[in-house]
Amino acid sequence: MIAGRGRSKIRPPRRGIHGGEEIDFEQTWKIIASAFNEIHTKNASKLSYEELYRHAYRIVLKKKGEDLYKRVRDFEHDWLTTQVRLRIQDLLSPNLLISSQAIGGTTTNERRFAGEKFMKGLKDAYMDHHVCMGMLADVLMYMDRVYCQDTHRLSIYNSAMILFRDDILNAFSQDGDSISVLELLNHVILEQIRMERDGDVIDKHMIKDCVYMLEGLYEGQMDTAESRLYVASFEGSFLETSRDFYRAESELLLRESDAGAYCRHTRRRIVEEQDRCRSTLAESTTPKIEKVVEDELIKNRIRELIEMESGVRFMIDNDRMEELSLVYELNARVDPKKTELMRAMQKRVVEMGTEVNNAAIAASQAPPPSEGADKGKGPALEKSLNQQTVAAIKWVEDVLQLKDKFDLIWKNAFNSDNALQTALTRSFADFINASSFPRSSEYISLFIDENMKKGIRGKTENEIDMVLEKAIVLLRYVQDKDLFERYYKKHLCRRLLMNKSISNDVEKQMISRMKIELGNNFTMKLEAMFKDMTISEELTSGYKGHVAQLGDADPKRIELAINVLTSMTWPLESMGGSGDEEGKTLKCIFPPAIDRIKRGFEKYYGEKHSGRQLTWLAAMGSADVRAVFPKVPGKEGTQKERRHELNVSTYGMVILLLFNEVSADVSLTFEDIQAQTNIPVSDLVRNLQSLAVAPKTRILVKEPMSKDVKPTDRFSFNAGFMGKFHRIKVGVVSNGNKVESDRERKETEKKNDDSRGFCIEAAVVRIMKQRKELSHQQLVAETLNQLAPQFKPEVTMIKKRIESLIEREYLERIEGAKVDSYRYLA
């Protein structure tokens, strides 16, 4: 039962069991006091601990603890005031005192030596006191444990430390002087630190020892961390002087050095202060002094720093990775969001992006290079190097370059910071979608087009991957994805029909990438286009087999390769020539041979799929024509017919076949040709240009010979045509994908707006069907939300569509609702 109880104190018996002999307090104290004297004068080796301990033990046993405690304290007080204080006062050289009142008058060195001497004396005194009191406390252990605990006194060691504080540190340094030793010590340490900041070498250990002393002493009676003399007396003034120092320094630095140097200096200062806390002061000060440096050198200055002439803008422009990384590091220290840096960076991105935009606009609007210079190359040059298209591709490349540049900075200097990446993305999206630059969708699609047609030739798979990835990266920024889809469809359509793309695989890869990025909906139609192409191939071979079965082995039989396109998925309107209104209604008159084949296929197709109507789009086809040119006396005297295989557009073929019907010297006027073929005027002009004007493919002769085709011009077969190759490709002017003219663009935008209208209506109806009733604000918000992945509709447009839906009684206004609200009508 007793055994189970908690820690119980076993006290000495009350009655004098201990040998019983009475002890004489005064006598015993004398022994102890003289021993203490020995200890203070470092002669403890002759003393027996057991003896002293036994004496103290006995005194306490005899209930004289109180007296003993008092005697010891008096003894220490006496010792400190008579012996130690004098020694300290001896150290106070005039140099030290002068420097404490006014800096100057003495050299730094003199002051430093005086300071070191003073610190050393103080430190030694403290260390002696510390060691001696340790020994005394050991001897008086029993008193501490029994007497001090019972009466709630401070242990003898602690009370001796308080004595040291009061008798030595808080004493005035000299009689009649108002500065205490402690203040003097603080001042000396601060002086030394100041010297070190200015580049002098100081005795760090000495200061550390003094700091150790200050850390071991407390201000009040309580031993809490905050009341350590170091914190209570020294740290505050240290931080204060540091703040002043760095404030002045930052001003000086901003005035006199560039941003990079400032950053480097700041970082060095921070490291220095950290080191100082570790080696000279106390670790607990590290965060505080760091904060001071950060406040003064960074936080209060970061804006000035970033906006300096040699600030972030300069660093970005000159790829100063190291300095940018410093700025990042410093900014991150004081602001986890890096607001200032982010602001500067975004500003620069938008600036540079706008420059790129403006360059593209300027390039596309600049007058084409002088006509005279490239007259020789003529339309061929015009075709491949359309200025606007070049500008478009250059724009994309510039943007990508910009993106690469900032990505590199982000990775190398900004530590791949997430927030900054978001900001970068936002800024890129900002300038790419800027209202002053509406062409980004088209340009990106053109860039892909260019690469599909030429760019990826001879590249490895990895390189192609990179190109595709780049395109996708840009696509991510584009807000109006529907506009991009429209352009992409148009460009893809041309590539497919004219067999311009280098690799079908790459096309498909691109589409699957877009699928990942933008979702199924986006690529559905694009995929359908590919599907049509495959089906068409099957149809072509099927028809070939069908014709072969008919058995009429006409050697002059014309082979047909056909693409059957679903009208909903293909952007046929944008393919139907150059938008001639009447051109769409007009049907080209094919020569009889061709017409027969056409009808044959229609029949074949009608058998396979009943109820489908085929519309022939001659403007998009091409034909291989074998032509025989009469013998001409050649230079080497060869006298044979020349055979060429001409690859021309369908219209070109129709035109050429006309000349089959007439004798070689007859010429046809433009109007004749037009009347006989019914080809839309603009297409006819372009085809005739390429057949009669382009120098390399001049199969027809035009009269009069000029660059433009006029309705009155006459054309005849060029019997003397000379071609270097057997196969000759007759390109049609403006056949490739290029930037739209302003008129075309308006049209595209109009069409786009129309289809947007449908999208909006569909979205509104979907939402209302689900929610039945909804306020106007909510409806608009939800609609915007739903359409966000496709495009960003204008609110006025949404309003209009809602009006129209109300008119058509899909919705109705809720009468008397507080806010405008609608109800869905099933």
Partner 1 sequence: MALNDEGQTNYVTLVSSDGFEFKILRSAACIAPTIKNMLNPATGWQEARENRCIFKDINGIVLEKICEYLYYNEKYENCKDIPDLDIPPELCLELVMAADYLQGMASRRRLAKELVLSAMQFDRLTRFLNTLDLTC
Give residues in contact with partner 1 (CB under 8 A): 2-3, 5, 7-14, 17-19, 44-51, 53-54, 57, 131, 134-135, 138-139, 141-142, 145
In this complex, which beta carbon is closest to partner 1, that of residue 5 or of residue 255?
Answer: 5
Give least dist CB 136 to partner 1, A.
10
Give least dist CB 218 to partner 1, A.
24
162: Cβ–Cβ under 8 A, 6 or more apart, which residues?
A: 154, 218, 221
In this complex, which beta carbon is closest to partner 1, that of residue 10 or of residue 628?
Answer: 10
In this complex, which beta carbon is closest to partner 1, that of residue 57 or of residue 717?
Answer: 57
Give least dist CB 159 to partner 1, A.
19
Give least dist CB 69 to partner 1, A.
18
Give least dist CB 311 to partner 1, A.
59
| Phi (first) and psi of residue 659, to 5 degrees | -75, -15
In this complex, which beta carbon is closest to partner 1, that of residue 61 or of residue 342?
Answer: 61
Give least dist CB 131 to partner 1, A.
8
In this complex, which beta carbon is closest to partner 1, that of residue 47 or of residue 98?
Answer: 47
Give least dist CB 215 to partner 1, A.
20
**CA nearest to 756, candidates 720, 784, 714, 733:** 784
Give least dist CB 39 to partner 1, A.
9
- The rounded distance, in Å, linking the Cα atoms of 137 and 617 is 111
Angle at CA of residue 279, ends 275 and 283, nearest 5°: 75
- The rounded distance, in Å, linking the Cα atoms of 456 and 440 is 22
CA atoms within 13 A on the CB side of 522: 24
574: Cβ–Cβ under 8 A, 6 or more apart, which residues?
A: 490, 493, 748
Query: Helix or strand or coil: residue 558?
Result: coil
In this complex, which beta carbon is closest to partner 1, that of residue 17 or of residue 628?
Answer: 17
Give least dist CB 45 to partner 1, A.
5
Give least dist CB 33 to partner 1, A.
17
**CA nearest to 183, candidates 86, 118, 100, 90:** 100
In this complex, which beta carbon is closest to partner 1, that of residue 38 or of residue 517?
Answer: 38
205: Cβ–Cβ under 8 A, 6 or more apart, which residues?
A: none
E strand spans, 771-818: 773-775, 811-813
Give least dist CB 27 to partner 1, A.
16
Burial group, residue 468, by CB count within 10 angstroms (0-12, 13-18, 19+): buried
305: Cβ–Cβ under 8 A, 6 or more apart, which residues?
A: 254, 259, 262, 263, 298, 311, 327
In this complex, which beta carbon is closest to partner 1, that of residue 7 or of residue 818?
Answer: 7
368: Cβ–Cβ under 8 A, 6 or more apart, which residues?
A: 387
Q: What is the DSSP letter of 760?
A: H
> Residue 814, by phi and psi: left (phi above 0), alpha (psi -120 to 50) or beta?
beta
- Beta bridge mates, 642: 629
Give least dist CB 48 to partner 1, A.
5
In this complex, which beta carbon is closest to partner 1, that of residue 142 or of residue 570?
Answer: 142
- The rounded distance, in Å, linking the Cα atoms of 158 and 170 is 16
The b/e string for 721-732 (b: 16+ C-beta within 10 A; e otherwise) is: bebeeeebebbb
In this complex, which beta carbon is closest to partner 1, that of residue 9 or of residue 626?
Answer: 9
In this complex, which beta carbon is closest to partner 1, that of residue 58 or of residue 702?
Answer: 58
In this complex, which beta carbon is closest to partner 1, that of residue 54 or of residue 823?
Answer: 54
CB 276 within 8 A of CB 195: no
- The rounded distance, in Å, linking the Cα atoms of 507 and 78 is 98
- The rounded distance, in Å, linking the Cα atoms of 633 and 644 is 17
Give least dist CB 40 to partner 1, A.
13
In this complex, which beta carbon is closest to partner 1, that of residue 4 or of residue 592?
Answer: 4
